[in-house]
Structure 1
């Protein structure tokens, strides 16, 4: 089973978060997760706010 931090690591490495990855995150956040995963998710949110990670869903809205 994929973990939140694995999705975050990929997004940070590529600078891109796909719609599919966003949906995976939504589903995983509904389950029990570790503090490491929560910290990773918060890091991803900060990176997205700072423009370091682009979200496919937001790019689709603006195109």
Structure 2
């Protein structure tokens, strides 16, 4: 399978965006089961929205290059 042989030119700093994006949505989904994060819905949605937009922009920029 060639999928595992694909080389990327992403730096570790650029992977921070996707990690923040995934972490914020995991916490958001988890907050439906625990009331502890209920006060942070808006903050988590803002973090998720910003990181998704930023990551997709970076990804499209890399794909065009």
Please report the TM-score for the alignment, with normalisation by the length of structure 2: 0.34
Q: Say which structure, 1 or 2, has more relative contact order (CA 8 Å, 6+ apart).
A: 1
